[in-house]
């Protein structure tokens, strides 16, 4: 996914948990400033596996995505937001889209929505022609199928102008160094498949990942949150009609129709992978450290920079990114994350 950005790189996945639960916090305070306080809703998504029936026999097992969703739920709840979580089998396409649509129908200008996703990132061929750089749409791998970036833009168009949206995506972006190409989805030679597989194995080998205040991770325990190339191709071939319908549903201009103000802080840049440590994603683990039980007091950009620098200390090949989409809102960007006071 390529957002209309305030940073220099593209985006795979804007950013959902076997039981569905919710916790409710009301309103939020005005911090003594006597300013009106808005409402805040949040959706925290985390998938430790996907349904192999849709993904060509691949279950995509991870360890840290459900724990990530719980971390993000707890942060949002403590900030006064009403939170819904969707974990693994409950994080299906229809459930995620319905939850976003429900929030969009309730929130008014000045209100806040926080959307977080932890899981695998994938790709499908672009159908509507909006991905001029590589001809591919990026996806979130939900339990029963991929959520295409155009669908996420479509969901954002339902939010009213003036609504503030904050998205966290702890997933991998666009794939291998040599990259899967649109032609690979239609017909691939044995030589090309071998080339992609070799590159995947080399690039996804995350070594010497270190979290702050933690010893170096055993490389055998570290996974990457991205679909292997052969799974991308097999999943698309098996479900081509479905993904073609999704792609054709959204106009090329869908991202230009977003009226809310959205900020994305993502786990890595386009050609990189996000590390799964088993207990959490590296990005989410460092986010939690930076947030420090709510003692963080800086702006959204400074929150990103602090997380980015911490992640880079742990894994030099994973650089969290910052993007904006929709209406420019410099006041929103300058606010502390999760602030319910109307800007």
Which residues, given as ranges, of the chain have pLDDT below 70?
1-37, 129-134, 174-178, 206-208, 210-221, 343
Average pLDDT, the chain: 85
Per the CB < 8 A criterion, the answer to whether 325 and 262 are in contact is yes
**Measuring CA to CA, how many Å separate 106 from each of 39, 101, 254, 306?**
10, 9, 22, 32
Let me know if residue 296 belongs to a domain: yes
Specify the pLDDT at position 167: 96
Q: Quote the number of domains for the chain.
A: 1
Let me know if residue 340 belongs to a domain: no
Let me know if residue 97 belongs to a domain: yes
Tokens 């904006």 sit on residue: 324
Range of the domain at 182: 20-334
Specify the pLDDT at position 218: 60
**341: phi then psi, degrees, rounded to nearest 5:** -65, 130
First-to-last alpha carbon distance for the chain, in angstroms, is 28
Strand, coil or helix: 227: coil
State the CATH number of the domain containing residue 104. 3.40.50.1460
DSSP string over 42-91? EEEEE-S---TTTTTT-----SSHHHHHHHHHHHHHHTT-EEEEEEGGG-
Specify the pLDDT at position 222: 80
Specify the pLDDT at position 213: 61
Let me know if residue 26 belongs to a domain: yes
Specify the pLDDT at position 206: 62
**E strand or H helix that includes residue 193:** helix 190-203
What is the value of pTM for the model shown? 0.87
Let me know if residue 204 belongs to a domain: yes
Let me know if residue 140 belongs to a domain: yes
Let me know if residue 343 belongs to a domain: no
Specify the pLDDT at position 110: 95
What tokens appear for 197 in the block? 């597989």
Let me know if residue 320 belongs to a domain: yes
């Amino acid at each position: 996914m390529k957002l209309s950005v305030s940073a220099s790189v593209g985006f795979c996945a804007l950013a959902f948990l076997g039981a569905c639960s919710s916790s409710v916090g009301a309103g939020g305070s005005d911090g003594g400033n006597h300013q009106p306080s808005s409402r805040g809703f949040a959706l925290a998504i985390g998938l430790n596996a996907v349904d192999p029936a849709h993904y060509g026999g691949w279950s995509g097992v991870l360890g840290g995505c459900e724990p990530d969703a719980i971390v993000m739920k707890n942060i949002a709840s403590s900030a006064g937001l009403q939170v819904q979580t969707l974990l693994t089998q409950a994080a299906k396409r229809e459930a995620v889209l319905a939850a976003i649509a429900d929030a969009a129908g309730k929130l008014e200008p000045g209100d806040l929505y926080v959307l977080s996703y932890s899981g695998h990132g994938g790709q499908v061929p672009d159908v509507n022609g909006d991905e001029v750089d590589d001809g591919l749409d990026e996806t979130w791998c939900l339990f029963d199928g991929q959520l295409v970036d155009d669908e996420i833009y479509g969901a954002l168009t339902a939010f009213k102008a003036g609504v503030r949206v904050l998205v966290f995506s702890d997933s991998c972006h666009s794939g291998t160094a040599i990259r899967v190409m649109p032609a690979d989805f239609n017909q691939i030679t044995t030589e090309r498949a071998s080339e992609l597989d070799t590159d995947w194995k080399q690039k996804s080998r995350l070594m010497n990942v270190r979290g702050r205040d933690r010893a170096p991770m055993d490389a055998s325990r570290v996974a990457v949150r991205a679909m292997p190339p052969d799974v991308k191709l097999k999943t698309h071939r098996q479900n081509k009609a479905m993904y073609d319908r999704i792609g054709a549903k959204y106009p090329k201009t869908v991202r230009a129709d977003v009226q809310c103000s959205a900020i994305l802080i993502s786990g890595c840049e386009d050609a990189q992978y996000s590390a799964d440590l088993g207990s959490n994603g590296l990005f989410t683990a460092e986010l939690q450290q930076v947030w420090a039980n709510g003692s963080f007091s800086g702006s959204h950009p400074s929150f990103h920079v602090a997380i980015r620098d911490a992640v880079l200390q742990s894994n030099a090949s994973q650089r969290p990114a910052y993007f904006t989409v929709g209406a420019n809102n410099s006041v929103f960007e300058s606010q502390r994350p999760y602030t319910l006071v109307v800007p």
